[in-house]
Amino acid sequence: MTIKKQLTATASLLAPLFLWASFSTPALANSNDTQLQNIAKELGVLRYVEPPNKLTQKTPQKHAQQQPVKQDPYAAKRRQIHLQNLARKKAYQARIAQLQRTKYQRAHKQRQQKQNSYGNVWNRLYQGFQIRDYNNQPLVRKFTTQFSRDPRRIQRLADRSSQYLYMVVNELNRRRMPTELALLPFVESAYRNKAYSHAGAAGMWQFIPATGRRFGLQQTRSYDARLDPYKSTKAAFDYLQKLNRQFRGDWLLSLAAYNAGEYRVHKEIAKNRSRGKRTDYWSLDLPRETKQYVPRLLAFKEIFRNPRHYRVQLRGIPNTYALTEIQVNKPVDLKKAALVAGLPADTLSSLNSGFLHGITTPRHSNRIILPRQYAGRLNQVIQRLPPAADVHNKSARKHYKKRRIRGGRYVYHKVRRGDNLYRIAKRFGTSVKKIKRLNNLRNNKIKPGKRLKIASRSRSKKRFS
C-alpha cells in the first residue's frame, strides 16, 4: 500500500509535465484550472502572467488584407432606367405645355373671330356689359333725359373717342373687366387727353398728382404720363381692379371710390353699418359729385346701348387699332414733324400730349404715338429730322408764351376757358394756396374772364392781359 501511495503521488507530480507538453504557456495562463496553474508555477513551467487588460488589449484584425469592393452589376442598368424616366417626364411636361399653348391659341383665335364678327367696336362694347341696369333710379333717369336732349353732343363725344375706344375695350377684354368702364372717360374728361380739373386732376382718366405717382405715372416739368393715353389707361384699370378687390366685386362702390377716394367710401360704409343701414352705393351719404358720378356713367350706358331710341346716330368704329407707336431715341419736335409730313400741326401733339413742350424727351419716354393710317409717312419724316433742342431743363413757364406788359410785384392773369388753379400755379411757378390767399378764394372754382392776382418772383415781373 505504501508503494502504491508513492506511485500515485509521483504520478500526480508528473502530471503537469505531461500537460506542459500538450499545452502552451498562453494556454496555461488563460486556463481556468487554478490547481494546474499552481503546479506549473511550482515546477517553473509557467511564470506569473498579468491578467489581460480589456482596454489596452488589441483585438486581432480578422481581415488583415482589404478585400476588394464588390461592384453592383445592376447599377448601370438602374442609372439608365432613371435617365429614361427623366426624359419621359420632360417630354410629358413639354407635351402638356404645348397642349395648353394650342388650347390658348385656339381660344384666342375663336375670340378674335367672334370679335371681328361684331363688325365694329360698339358691338364688342355691348357684348361686354356686366353691370346690371339701374334705369329705375331717379338720378339715372334724370341724366339719361338730360343727355339725350342734345344728340349732336353725344355724337361729338363718340367721334372723339373713336381713336382710343378700340384700345380701351381691348384692354378691358384682356383683363375680363366690364366694358362699361370704357364709358368712364365720357364722364371724366369727354375723352380729351389735355383735360384738367379744378382739383389738379389731368388726363383722359383724371388722375390727381399723388394717385398718378402711386400707379407709376411720372410727372416732371417736361413730361406728364397722366396725359399719355396708353399709360394712363393701364394705370386706371390697375386702380379700378385694386378698388374692386377692396369692395368685394361691387363695381358701383369701386367707381365711387375712384371719384371720392376709397377712404371716404369706407368711412361711409362703416357709418351706415354702425347705424344698421344698408351699405350699397345708393344708401351711402357721399359728396354731391360722387352721387352724380355713377348715374352719369349708367346714363351713357343706356344711351349708347339704344342709340336709335334717343335719336343718336353712331358711326361705326373699325374693329382694329386706330393708333400705333414707334420707338425714337432722340428729341423730336412733334409739330414740325406733322407739318413736314403734310398733316395738321396738332396731329402728333394731341396724341402725345404727355410731352408738355411739344418735344419728346427720350429720358422719360422714347415712345411716340402715331395715327395708323399715316404711320409710314410720319415714321420716315421723324427718322430724317435732326434732333430737336432738349427741353428737359426748360422752365414750365416758358411753355406758355403770351403778350407781356411791364408790371410791379404781382402778375395779373385773365382766366380763360379751360384754365384751372393747378395749371395757372404751375405756369407761374407758384402754388394754388398762394393764389387763393391773394384773391380771397374759398374754393378752387374760377370762371372765365376773372382776373387773378399772382405773386411774381422778381420786381420786374410782367402782367398778362
CA distance 214 to 222: 19
Contacts of 331 (CB under 8 A, 6+ apart): 359, 360, 361, 362, 387, 388, 389, 390, 391
- Please identify which of the residues 188, 262, 268, 302 carries the catalytic annotation: 188
The amino acid present at 57, given as its one-letter code, is Q
Nearest to 314 by CA among 157, 89, 127, 455: 157
SS3 124: helix
CA angle centred on 445, ends 161 and 352, rounded to 5°: 30
188 given a catalytic annotation: yes
d(CA 288, CA 253): 15
Distance of CA 382 to the CA centre of its chain: 32
Angle between helices 165-175 and 229-246 (to 10 degrees): 40
- Phi then psi for residue 286, to 5 deg, are -100, 165
- Dump strand ranges (E) for 352-392: 367-371
d(CA 378, CA 434): 44
327-338 as b/e, with b when 16 or more CB fall inside 10 Å? ebeebbbbebbb
The region, left, alpha or beta by phi > 0 then psi within -120 to 50, assigned to residue 295 is alpha
Q: What gap in Å lies between CA 143 and CA 154, rounded to an integer?
A: 13
**205 is written with which cell numbers?**
382718366
Pairing outcome for strands 410-414 and 323-327 = unpaired
Spatial separation of the C-alpha atoms in residues 200 and 209, rounded to whole Å: 7
Q: List, by residue number, the catalytic residues.
A: 188
